[in-house]
C-alpha cells in the first residue's frame, strides 16, 4: 500500500511539473545560445513596426504589443514551441511572458534588457 501511495504521489508531482512548463528570463548570452542551438525556436519581437525597422533579431516575428489584437495574435501561436520574447528594454516582453504562461504555452523566455541589451552586447563583442 505504501508503495502505491508513493508511486501515485511521484506521478502527480511529475505531471504537475510537466504541465507547468518552462518560463523565465534569460540573458542576451543565453538568448544567443538558444538561437544558435534550439531548432524550432520561435523568436518574438513585441516592439512597434518602427522599432523593428531600425533593427531586429534574424528570423524574429513582429507582433506589436500595443495593437488591440495583440492577445488574440498570441493565442494563434503554436503553444508547444519554445518562444524567445524581446522588446526594446524588457518591460513589454516580461508582460508578454506572463500572458503566454496564462494562455497555456509550454515554454517561453524573456530576454533581459531587450534589444537595447542585445545591441550593446553585440557592439562589445565586435570590438
Across 101-115, average pLDDT:
96
- Helix (H) or strand (E) run with residue 46 in it: none
pLDDT tens track for 18-65: 345 799 999 999 999 999 987 889 999 999 999 999 999 999 999 999
| CATH number for position 38 | 3.40.250.10
The three-state secondary structure class of 30 is helix
Q: What is the pLDDT of residue 127?
A: 63
**How many domains is the chain built from?**
1
Average pLDDT of the chain is 87
Between 10-24, 55-69, 105-119, the lowest mean confidence (pLDDT) is in 10-24
Q: Which domain holds residue 51?
A: 21-125
Q: Decide: 51 and 115 in contact? Cβ < 8 Å.
A: yes
pLDDT of residue 122: 83
Within a domain: 7: no
Amino acid at each position: 500500500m505504501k508503495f502505491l501511495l508513493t508511486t501515485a504521489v511521484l506521478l502527480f508531482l511529475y505531471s504537475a511539473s510537466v504541465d507547468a512548463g518552462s518560463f523565465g528570463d534569460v540573458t542576451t548570452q543565453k538568448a544567443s545560445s538558444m538561437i544558435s542551438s534550439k531548432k524550432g525556436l520561435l523568436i518574438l519581437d513585441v516592439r512597434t513596426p518602427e522599432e523593428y525597422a531600425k533593427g531586429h533579431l534574424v528570423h524574429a516575428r513582429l507582433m506589436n504589443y500595443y495593437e488591440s489584437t495583440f492577445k488574440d495574435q498570441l493565442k494563434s501561436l503554436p503553444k508547444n514551441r519554445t518562444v524567445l520574447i524581446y522588446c526594446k528594454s524588457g518591460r513589454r516582453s516580461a508582460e508578454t511572458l506572463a500572458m503566454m504562461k496564462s494562455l497555456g504555452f509550454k515554454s517561453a523566455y524573456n530576454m533581459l534588457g531587450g534589444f537595447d541589451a542585445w545591441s550593446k552586447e553585440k557592439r562589445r563583442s565586435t570590438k
